Chain A
Amino acid sequence: MYTSLMTLEIWVITLGIVLMLADFFFCVTPERKKFLVAIAIAALGVMFVGLLGNDTPTGVAFNGAFVEDPMAIFFKRFFVLAAILVLFLAMEFSGKLAGIAEYYSLVIFALAGMLFAASANDFAMLFVSIELITVTFYVLVSFQRAKLLSLEAGVKYLIIGALSSAFMVFGIALIWGTTGTMNFSELAQVSPQFIDNKIFLTGVLFLLAGLGFKIAAVPFQIWAPDVYQGAPTPTTAFLAVGSKAAGFVLVLRVLFTAVPAITAHWTDFLIVISALTILYGNLCALPQRNLKRLLGYSSISHAGYLLLGIAAVSATGQSAVMYYLAGYLFTVVGAFTVITLVMQHLDSEDISGLAGLNQRSPLLATTMTLSMASLAGVPPLAGFFGKFLLLKAVIQQGFATSNHGYYCLTFVALIGVAISFYYYFGVIRAIYWSKDARDLSPIPLSGGATFLALLCIGGMLWIGIFPNTVLNLADAAANALK
């Protein structure tokens, strides 16, 4: 019974091991390596299609440590799709990565960690899955070992990641020490008794600090810009969507399954964190000239928008978070695809490198424009309806609880969105009307890159114009969280 629930995870890990072994025996030429990643993408594609059916079994395993419910399935679809997109991206980027097959298998292992995170219902499972993700990312971030910035990013990520793991383990120890249980469902029943227990509350706070590092929420956001800038672009993309979403699935599980009683008391705290994250991310993004660094700050601000849905402490808020993440996936991967293809022959990722892109490659210019517009929240793209749902959830909770903090939060979000228009349109401006275009040679696009760009455009438009499918799935997932 256990294995039937974990089929997907087992296949993913097998795939990772096979890829790594195949590297020894098979990969003598670069063409063969490309063939290998094509097989990996195809295998993940098959798994994704398998996940789309409604017959995925649900249930719990390992004494309740592993849960397969609609939310876990929602996030598993998300992670597998993210990994597929990132592998496409890595295939385009491969010129700059030495020892490429390891890179692919590390992506797959990180994916396995994310899949476990989606199903984690126990602090031990939570910690193991987080570590599986984080440790693989240490390597993925510093993969361009000849490049100083990449190494610097790797070291920064390692130190801060280790610190956050320490916080998390300490928090878990305190929680276990006071309540005697590691399981979320059991904890939910006993946690109301510990609502005044300072040690227990400290434990929850430390755990949230650890998760805060993962999602890059203020005050644990400091690593994000440096790491985003220094890491190889496919890693940055995976960090922005996969790792962030893994953080959010765990935040959702911990706050709403494990300690709902405490979450209800901490709404003001969540409101403040969300407001600060939105303001910090948007204000710091304003002066940035490096595109990846800008997206790093933008990713902080998006963590803030997603926290709007968490702070709303309601099923509509949770479903808005999931919907927003689904749109964010295509948007961010679209942006990083363009960065990968346009910037890989330049020294830095300065925004001016995009100059004249509309003449060099109309498809990439369109992709970047739509990605920026979707990040800013322009209809009819996914970002608009997502922000609409998040704001609606916050205002709804404001009316329901008459907590004035929610109104303030709404206005902070409004200011943040208005500021963000400025820098996102700055990127669009560089594409279409910058005068100092040095290089106007056409950019050659491989079939895979064209497919990836079209897929991202299609995804942003589909989720934005036909929100029903994703929204219903997100609603079902949020209802399962109770």
Chain B
Amino acid sequence: MSILTYIFGWPLLAALVLVFVPRNYRVIIRAIAVLATLASAILAVKMFCQFVPGTNGFQFEQQIPWVDSLGISYHVGVDGLNVGLILMGAIVIFAAACCSWEIQTREKEFYILLLIMGGGILGAFASLDMFFFYFLHELALIPTFIMIGVWGRGDRKNYATFQITIYLSIGALLALIGLIALYLQSGANTFDIPVIIEHAKTNPLAANVQNIIFPLLLFGFGILVSLWPFHSWAPLGYGSAPSPTAMIHAGILKKFGLYGLIRIALPLMPQAAHGWMNCIAWLCLGNILYVGWVAMRQRDLNLLIGNSSVAHMGFIFLGIASLNLIGITGAVFIMVAHGFLAALTFALSGYIYQKTGTLQMSELGGLCRKLRFIGTALVMAALAGCGLPGFANFVGEVTVFFGSWAMFPVVTVLAVWGGLVIGGIYMTRAVRKILHGPLPEKYVNVGDATNPWRKLPYALLLVSLFVFGCFPKLLTDQIEPDANKVVSMVNAGYASSADAGPAHPSTIVMQNPKFEARN
């Protein structure tokens, strides 16, 4: 058995065990959930340390046939693209399980759903089979809807539940149709991603087929990632969700679509990818500028964080759109960094909501006097969010900007402006309103997280941000060789089609020297 199977198997197994635990054994239920996620986090760290960057193929592989007639098999493995994501995912899920003390009703169902969600998404990231990739993500997605509906907060909870359900279902189904079409057109008669990619090296997909499938995957995954203008589910959904759910969804599930684009769409459909990249680059400005601007206008902390997390997706899309080694490495780096950051901010806002009963920034103030630890952590998270050096987000964003400068100078300038100025404005404003100023009378008795056990999840996420921010080589060394494979496939596929008959001669002349210079 591969270590990957254990990483996502422990949470799923624990979910099954919890079904048989009586609901009044609250301590035991919580202990099982925390221990299972801790086990998977420790295994993920071990796997990350054992990972050897730059080897050919995948590591910790395991393959078991499932449906032979369709070529579906249970196939897991890691390379540089998903090793960091699995590490991030396992740590965030452990933190989310620790933060779940705020759930006081129907704990048993909550922990079961939380574990299914966590196990499912880790499995999706580990899967090298398109069917299981989709299947396990869908398994993780459905609990989100139920958790928002049952344990969510706010007056617009029901509306938010149904909006997010229908929106994300349509996105997932579009992606499913794209994946089925890819399976049928690849000619390899298998759902196994490495086999399809190998097969495509000798038998590339025809350009017209690529132009049908790529948009399906782009917009299907795009809806799941909240690509502008399909983002409207995200702020409200996160604003209404209980904080552990928001942590896992914003931190991990959202990266699924981006990972899918990099893992499946780019290497297999190079020509279509080149054709769509301009469009993506401009759409991502919608995320960075428009949604950033919306975030500035928010009065509710959770809606602000939700919008800012949508805005951050723009940087990742920009990295993907640049289609070069630096850009894609940066995109994967932000995916990991933003996972820690989003989880941290939602966890902190959940704590504040728990203690004060509101997240309206006008009603809060001066909380740093009472919440020394939480307040400090929130300041750090806010600074990380606007890209302060020393935190992992800075590394990723700067890398993306270096990568995209070669392709889209105008977009990059606007994005830098959006990231630094707009991000700076809304984050520091939130810090000022919530943590500084006079402390309202009703909050004098608000208590800080004093118990080390309570501090653990926040500390863990902050430390992770610091570690990857100060030692980015830990991650970039692992991402780079495999990002390079993706980039070379995209450009080789594009170049070969250009030899056969250039579709857009002018762009090729402009772009090719730059790729060589970068690589």
Residues of A with Cβ closer than 8 Å to B? Answer: 358, 373, 378-380, 384, 388, 391-392, 395-396, 399, 410, 414-415, 417-419, 421-422, 425, 428-429, 432-433, 467-468, 471-472, 475
Contact = CB atoms under 8 A, between A and B. Distances in A.
Contact of A399 (B67, B68, B142, B185): B185
Contacts of A414: 170, 173-174, 177
B142 A373 contact: yes
Nearest to B150: A433
Interface string B147-180: 0011000000000011001100110011011001
B138 A384 contact: yes
B492 to A, nearest CB: 25
Contacts of B161: 425
A391 B176 contact: yes
B180 A395 contact: yes
29 contacts: A373-B142, A378-B138, A378-B142, A379-B135, A379-B138, A380-B135, A380-B139, A391-B176, A391-B180, A395-B180, A395-B181, A399-B181, A410-B177, A414-B173, A414-B177, A415-B170, A417-B169, A418-B169, A418-B173, A421-B169, A422-B162, A425-B145, A425-B146, A425-B162, A425-B165, A428-B146, A433-B149, A467-B67, A472-B69
A269 B184 CA distance: 25
> Interface majority SS on B: helix, strand, loop or mixed?
helix
A464 B421 CA distance: 50
Nearest to A414: B173
Contacts of B146: 425, 428, 432
A429 B139 contact: no
B295 to A, nearest CB: 28
Interface of B: 66-69, 109, 131, 135-136, 138-139, 142, 145-146, 149-150, 161-162, 165-166, 169-170, 173-174, 176-177, 180-181, 183-185
A472 B131 CA distance: 18
Contact of A422 (B69, B165, B181): B165
Given A373-B142, A417-B169, A417-B173, 5 more contacts: A379-B135, A380-B139, A421-B166, A422-B162, A433-B149
B180 A392 contact: yes
> Interface majority SS on A: helix, strand, loop or mixed?
helix
A433 B149 CA distance: 8
A392 B135 contact: no
A418 B135 contact: no
A418 B67 contact: no
B139 A379 contact: yes
- Which among A373, A410, A422, A468 has the highest number of chain B CB atoms within 10 Å? A468
Contacts of A468: 66-68
A429 B139 CA distance: 18
A471 B180 contact: no
B138 A391 contact: no
Contacts of A378: 138-139, 142
Contacts of B138: 378-379, 384
Contacts of B68: 468
A429 B150 CA distance: 8
Contacts of A421: 165-166, 169
A154 B170 CA distance: 39
Contacts of B135: 379-380, 384
B177 A418 contact: no
A418 B166 contact: yes
A419 B173 CA distance: 12
Contacts of B169: 417-418, 421
A380 B140 CA distance: 11
A50 B185 CA distance: 42
A30 to B, nearest CB: 36
A380 B177 CA distance: 18
Contacts of A467: 67
A391 B176 CA distance: 9
A475 B176 contact: no
B177 A391 contact: yes
B489 to A, nearest CB: 23
Given A384-B138, A429-B149, A471 B181 contact: no
